[in-house]
Each structure stands twice: as C-alpha cells, then as structure tokens.
Structure 1
C-alpha cells in the first residue's frame, strides 16, 4: 500500500509539472463557464441539472488529454523497463497511476461546485439532486479515466494514445444511439453499456445502486485490461 501511494504522489507531481494538465483545466473551466453563462442567462432558472450534459461532453475532450501520458510517456522515454522491474507490482503501478488521475478528476468536479454556489445566490437549490448529479459526474469521469489509462498502455506516442482514448470513449458514449439505429431488436441489451445514459437516474435525484455498481465494475474491467496489457509487454 505504501508503494502504491508513493507512485500516486509521484504521478500527481508529474501532472502539475506538465503543461498538459493546466491546458486541460483551462479548457474545462473556460468551456463549462461559457455553457453556464449561456444557460443561466437564457433560462433564468435556478437549476443546475442542464449543465451536467455540457460537463459530460467537455469530459470527452479533457479526459484523453489528462490520461494520454500516464503510461505512454514512460514507454516513450524508455523508463517503462525500470518501472516494470521495480519492487512494486504491476497492479500497484497501474492502480497508483489510476488513483492519481482520479484525484485530478475529483479536482475538476470540486471546481465545478462554483456554479451551484453562484446559483444559490438567486434561489434555493434542490440539494439531493445537486449532490447526486455531482456524484454521477464523478463516477462518469472515473470510468472515463479508466478507459484513458487503458488507451495509454497501447502506444508509446501520447497523441496516438489520446486519439485512441477519445475514439473508445466516443463509441461508449454513442452506443445508445448506435444500438437503436443499427440493432433495433437487440438495442435494449446494448444500451445498458452506455456510460452516458447511466447518469440519468442520478441526475434526477434517484440513487439506483445498479448504476453505481455498473461504473465500479466498468472501472475494474479497464484497470485489469491495463494491467494485462503491461503484463504482456513485460514478457515480450
């Protein structure tokens, strides 16, 4: 556990030494702030829920930026061999890197709390709906981070890893639409794997544990895939 947290701290330091993280944060808050001002000025209602669809779309671009260097940078610099032969296990290495990414994503979610604070100056907010909506945003982001981590294990080139992560996330995002148009008969079954639609109940203020379990299972699957990919590279 000590090695895991040491790796997590090292990865967090790397984030804040890299301009990519600052660019991603600036893009996230600039775009989300624009959407917030447009929604509030256009609707004049004290309701935070319309914003979350915009937040989620911005995640499609921000998450690949934040995850593309997690493993690919190690492979590009040749330090992956040192990392893979270190006393830490592959599981500790991957989970440590993933936890650093999730902590960074938590900062994005926490920073977005400024918007309900502003809205609260103009009227009362539905607090259970608000907190569950933010929980949905965090779970979605954590799941997307796991996909981005997996994409980062596939190539030594950050740009390739970022594009691969974006492509996978886009497919998982559009799976509900694709299942309805391409597979009208089996679409209902496929729609269950849509990472975006699983936020709907939480954003309505309904805590459905099946949605929470879905995201946690999704995270575990892609973290395990990342470990297996690196395991194969170790033995090549």
Structure 2
C-alpha cells in the first residue's frame, strides 16, 4: 500500500502544504543532484502555478516548489544543461522527455530583486515506484519517461519508462531506380512476393527447343542411304549431322 506523507503549515497569512502521496512506499537510492532553474516554475497560468507552488499569498516572503514535479533537461538557451518543469509546449528541450521527479520541496525566497533560492542544486529521482495520478502535475499518457519508473495504482503496476512500441515496424522499401530495383525487375520479383516470402521461378536459359517465336522445322529430310546402288559417300557422318539438326528442331525425318 502507499505510504502518504502530508504536512500543513499555517503561518497566519498563507498555508504551505507538502504532499508526498505520489510516492509508493519508502525507497532508497535512485536520486542524483541536478541544477534547477526556479524561475521556470513562475508561470502566468494561475492554475498551473498553484500545481507547481505552495505557500502563495499576497504577503508571502517564502514559497515552495512542490516535490514530485516532473523535470526535464534544458537543451538550448542560456540555461542549457539545467532542469526545469517538463512542459510539452516548451521549445528549450523540456518538451522532449521526463528525466525524473523533483525529490524534495524547494524553498524560494521572494525578494525585491525577484526569486532567490539558497541552493539550486536539487535532487532528481530517476527511478522508483510512484502513483502517477498523485503527482502535482500529471503528465499526459503519451509523455515519454526516461529513467526507470513504475506507476502503482490499486495494485496494478504499469511501466512508464522505455515503453515498447505496439506499432509494427514498417516494411523496408526499395528506392525507385536503384540497382537493387533493376535486378529485382529483371527477375520478375515484386514487393508483394518479397513480403509473402515467395521465391519466383527463374526461367531456364533459352534454347532452340524452348525459345518462343522460332521458325517451323524444315521439311522432312531422310537419312543418307548406306546400302544399295545409291549409297552415299560418308553417309555415317552425314546422318550424324542430320540427327543433331533433328534434335534441335531444325529438321524432321
């Protein structure tokens, strides 16, 4: 079962809530230190800001970034290499994938100069069992998760990281005009035959006996006589030649 942890602080002016219900049980390890950009949590969307922050109020001098917020790596701009909230609508790299979750609440001091954080070096949880629906900001189902996370909800465990695609891999195509295409065309091989695993029959080498469009055989030619008054000189050799021509279909007997 999940072990929730919730702490409420009343200051008389604002209420600070720390809700760790997104954790499923106690877990050791699985945390690395990264640099956070706190200003990225100060968004114009009030509904989203209230998901990111707690302790907000007109007279608040300290507010808190909630733990469990999905973080993403910034890959472009002045803050390249640091981390901010995962945002599918961002353009600085934070739209690509969820690198992990903010491990602990971060205190932010509100000053005349703006936001001031004592230490922007924070913990990023890159693996663990969580309850995704309890996160301060719940990512869409198609969000890409890095690390090694499992969503445990009502004893149903769903892997979030490195989901295997359910779409079949596309069949490799053959570029038109390629050498491969020419060879395949010469053998009367089609893409459908390749997909079905059919090996086409290669026609036999052409001969006079099987070639199409050959002329009709000549009229019958009898063997040269080897006996009698009309015996033919070298009749045996001549008859051998006639036999070859008949076998090739050039003569009949």
> Which TM class, normalised by the smaller chain length?
under 0.3
More strand, by proportion = 2
| Structure with greater Cα Rg | 2
TM-score, with normalisation over the residues of structure 2?
A: 0.19
